[in-house]
Chain A
């Protein structure tokens, strides 16, 4: 990697102040994407601000209506949390399917959604549950947070602090992993709850998207059969050596069907 200035932030305000006014400042949470990128010299930030000491951003709170996950909470903690397993089992399951044990013990929800990899798992739950993303400046609806390939609604110097997930009646997550990287070739998160019926797809497109036809069908009948004949168009889907757009489109239907079955237990 190239040389950079390194700082461990003492507070959210300190972190935000530390990236402003520098040439190219970057927050590092778990570093599970950023560090390999640096090692391969594919990025050259001038300043790295480590969020590792921001213990306020670590932790899970569950009340009667929502699950709140601090931005610096590692995936492994979410996956193992009895409270999350009880309130939103699909969310705990999703966290347990990310990467491998090393990644799950370092990688964080804040880092994952801020990076917005098109094949990351977490964005599907944020949209699929109608979650709200809290930052140091404001709250952003999950539907408005992910704006494009590796792009989010976050502004310069804006830091995710927590994500609040409404507890649904039912939820399910099904992932078809890339055999090499284990990112999602297609991942589908479905839920039925206070935010209505939601179907959110990751891995297939430039970023997470909802499937209104499926949501409509599931609103009248929340059963696998409701979605099994609904195809998404492959026109804008990703195509690579692992899966053609056509295959991804097909997998969206299969994974959606299975996610609904899982949600229904």
Chain B
């Protein structure tokens, strides 16, 4: 295998700059004559704004301008748009209340944006912000979904009755009920999927600059998708056409979904930069991140599984309330519907599925996609149900899965919840996982733990996810207000080196390496001769960005399409130079060859000829070797796998120790196994974090109790064991040119369910069959106390 080709575990080239402090993040950028913004945020969860007096702040040292919601409203600029419209029962569209960047009427969560102070320094802006006098009329806050949906509850938005954004369903309830009537056994669970804070290491930041001479704006922002921000902010908020707005997302320090969305601060600094005629920088501190970055999960679910006497699944019935927070974040409505309910078949042949989802407004920070987005919630529900059904029916937990798995031979498989799986070998993942985890040896290990006074449990999660949302036409029919293709440009230079411009955006994924390998392999050039460029709307043809594990499957496929065009044109040039027919030219390993002869020419020579067209078919062919492509996938990709966790519980303290974690994942074909393994590790840690530690907690008054790392528990290196991770490449994706499926979210999707199943397996020896996430020491100890009582 040549260095840098597909399959080579080469080191990430971007790490040199990241590890030596040479990354260039938004906050590292400073523009001449720059000012600084400080956003005044609500300290209350729900209150009418009676009066905002900015007069003192305006006179404070260094202050350039103070703007409030009244200024925003007076300018007639739009609110922040929602990118996905869900149509509920009876064709009722979701409620879409206004989402102004600066509020004028009332605040709807702690951290809501009230005003912006622009000053010569950040400290002056903050000092002046403290001089703004705001009078509120406090309103009762609805914090939990149960409170928000009670009769007579305070309304987050006056225009949304009962605080219900939509009431949506998938499947036929009557058909589902009929299956339950005939069932030999029904397993029922009530589940909480706890709210999480994304916590990327880099807080959000934005710098806006307005050039009056050209009537042109530039926005530097911490985004996973700069073109989407240009579209949303330009077209829907500030009415700036694309050719007058450049959005740059340089190095971005992690996103996990939270940097997909268009945030108020981006619009505020862009809007204000024209007013003050100077660049404006805003950078969040960690408290801002806790209060304003879109949060994740937060479901309340009742799930029921109907089984026949042999343990075959007959039907699944799910009712979920999903918390939207105080406003609709950009893609919030799609997460508990099209990225959740559609995954409820899992790996199983359940013939009938009905899912009802209500989206609820509350006086909390908005919720949107967080690594996994809907799929961890679906996996958690299903795998908890399956292991509970196994306990109740006495069918061993791997056996009940085997009886219900979709077989490899049944692919493609149409599920009852809209998706069609193209590939997967679920049995093999399970068998490999069981072997890797020494499932057979568990009983011995349990006995050994019990001798030490500890409980031991093993838990599985088999999962399937849908990545690279597609095709655009289907997404559009389901309410997406954007296409879901990707764009790429492959520019071969005269001397044979290559620059790749991709619409995907990297913020930790290692695209600069993976995509370079892909191109080096495809064009037969050394990997160091390939450079990958991303994150700038002025340099990249177009882009839909990075989320939903889509970059390689969709963005990589667009690169392949552009390379195909390069090779097709190269063949014509080679045919001319080699005096052969185009159809006789073959291309492999960087060489064009006349079929069946030893006549050949390297791609470097072809590139030089394309740019120095002295001997060139100029009548038929344009000079240059620079091609772009858009790729719209035919289907989602379906990564899947088997995750197995083993835990030990200290009965004296309730402390859960994760002893081992084994993952077997099918990501289709793998470009760089080392990078994939890293992605899995990171995902697993976040899934384990949700299961054992992370919990976003609000007080009854809507105050964010876990507003800092003092109270919000993040997993650390010593929280997790050394992982055992393996990839199954035996069932590649059938519909994209690379056979790839995506690996970014998988770890997060399987880990939570596997860990909680392991904890329950341990606790079940004491008669406990339910525990809520996160299974903290405190919670486990309380469960053990109750079981004694």
Contacts and interface: CB of A to CB of B under 8 A. Distances in A.
Please say whether chains A and B are actual partners in one complex.
Answer: yes
Interface stretch (B175-183, B224-232, B571-579, B706-714): B706-714
B693 interface: yes
Interface in A201-224: none
Interface stretch (A17-25, A101-109, A157-165, A237-245): A237-245
A239 to B, nearest CB: 11
Given A241-B705, A251-B653, A254-B653, A180 B714 contact: yes
A243 B778 contact: yes
Contact of B709 (A176, A181, A244, A247): A181
A40 B287 contact: yes
A7 interface: no
B438 interface: no
B711 A244 contact: no
Contacts of A242: 711, 776, 778
Contact of B713 (A41, A179, A244): A179
> Which of B287, B693, B778 has most chain A Cβ within 10 Å?
B778
Given A40-B287, A247-B781, A254-B653, A179 B697 contact: no
A250 interface: yes
A40 B697 CA distance: 21
Nearest to B710: A181
A179 B782 contact: no
A40 B706 CA distance: 16
A179 B652 CA distance: 17
Interface string A32-46: 000000001100000
A176 B695 CA distance: 19
Interface in B629-655: 652-653
Interface in B338-385: none
A180 B781 contact: no
Interface in A178-234: 178-181
A241 B777 CA distance: 12
A7 to B, nearest CB: 21
Contact of A180 (B287, B711, B777, B782): B711
Contacts of B709: 180-181
Given A40-B287, A179-B776, A247 B710 contact: no
B781 A241 contact: no
B778 A244 contact: yes
A179 B693 contact: yes
Contacts of A247: 778, 781-782
Interface string B766-789: 000000000011100110000000
> Which of B695, B706, B713 has most chain A Cβ within 10 Å?
B713
Tell me the interface secondary structure of chain B in the complex: loop
A179 B693 CA distance: 7
Size band of the B side of the interface? 20 to 34
Nearest to A183: B710
A242 B777 CA distance: 9
Tell me the interface secondary structure of chain A in the complex: loop
A180 B712 contact: yes
A176 B653 contact: yes
Contact of B706 (A2, A241, A243, A251): A241
B294 to A, nearest CB: 21
B653 A180 contact: no
A241 B711 contact: yes
Contacts of B697: 241
> Which of B653, B693, B712, B714 has most chain A Cβ within 10 Å?
B653
Contacts of A243: 778
Size band of the A side of the interface? 10 to 19
Contacts of B653: 176, 251, 254
Interface in B652-669: 652-653
Contacts, number: 39
Interface string B705-732: 1100111111000000000000000000
A180 B705 CA distance: 13
Contacts of A250: 781
Interface in B194-245: none
Contacts of B693: 179-180
Nearest to B287: A40
A39 to B, nearest CB: 8
A25 to B, nearest CB: 22
Contacts of B776: 179, 242
A176 B710 CA distance: 15
Nearest to B650: A254
B422 to A, nearest CB: 41
Interface in B306-326: none
Interface in A54-77: none
Contacts of A41: 126
Contacts of A244: 778, 782
A40 B288 CA distance: 12
A263 B705 CA distance: 38
B440 to A, nearest CB: 33
Interface in A145-178: 176, 178
B424 to A, nearest CB: 36
Contact of B652 (A40, A181, A241, A254): A254
Contacts of A180: 693, 706, 709-714
A41 B129 CA distance: 13
A251 to B, nearest CB: 7
A2 B129 CA distance: 13
A41 B127 CA distance: 10
A241 B706 CA distance: 9
A147 B54 CA distance: 44
Nearest to B719: A179
A119 to B, nearest CB: 10
Interface in B155-176: none
B649 to A, nearest CB: 14
> Which of A242, A243, A247 has most chain B Cβ within 10 Å?
A247
Interface in B8-54: none
Contacts of B695: 241
A183 to B, nearest CB: 8
A152 B697 CA distance: 32
A180 B715 CA distance: 8
A178 B652 CA distance: 16
B557 to A, nearest CB: 42
B376 to A, nearest CB: 21
A245 to B, nearest CB: 12
Contacts of A251: 653
Contacts of A241: 695, 697, 705-706, 711
Interface string B125-138: 01100000000000
A251 B655 CA distance: 11
A2 B127 CA distance: 8
Nearest to B709: A180
A179 to B, nearest CB: 4
> Which of A41, A241, A250, A251 has most chain B Cβ within 10 Å?
A241
Contacts of A40: 287
Contacts of B782: 244, 247
B701 to A, nearest CB: 15
Interface in B284-309: 287
Interface in B734-789: 776-778, 781-782
Contacts of B705: 241
Interface string A102-135: 0000000000000000000000000000000000
Interface of A: 2, 40-41, 176, 178-181, 241-244, 247, 250-251, 254
Given A176-B653, A180-B713, 14 more contacts: A2-B127, A179-B693, A179-B777, A180-B706, A180-B709, A180-B711, A181-B711, A241-B705, A241-B706, A242-B711, A243-B778, A244-B778, A247-B778, A254-B653
Please list the 9 inter-chain residue pairs (A to B) with the smallest Cβ-Cβ separation, ordered nearest first: A180-B713, A179-B713, A181-B710, A254-B652, A243-B778, A180-B711, A247-B778, A241-B697, A179-B693
8 contacts: A176-B653, A176-B777, A178-B713, A179-B776, A180-B713, A241-B695, A242-B778, A243-B778
Interface of B: 126-127, 287, 652-653, 693, 695, 697, 705-706, 709-714, 776-778, 781-782
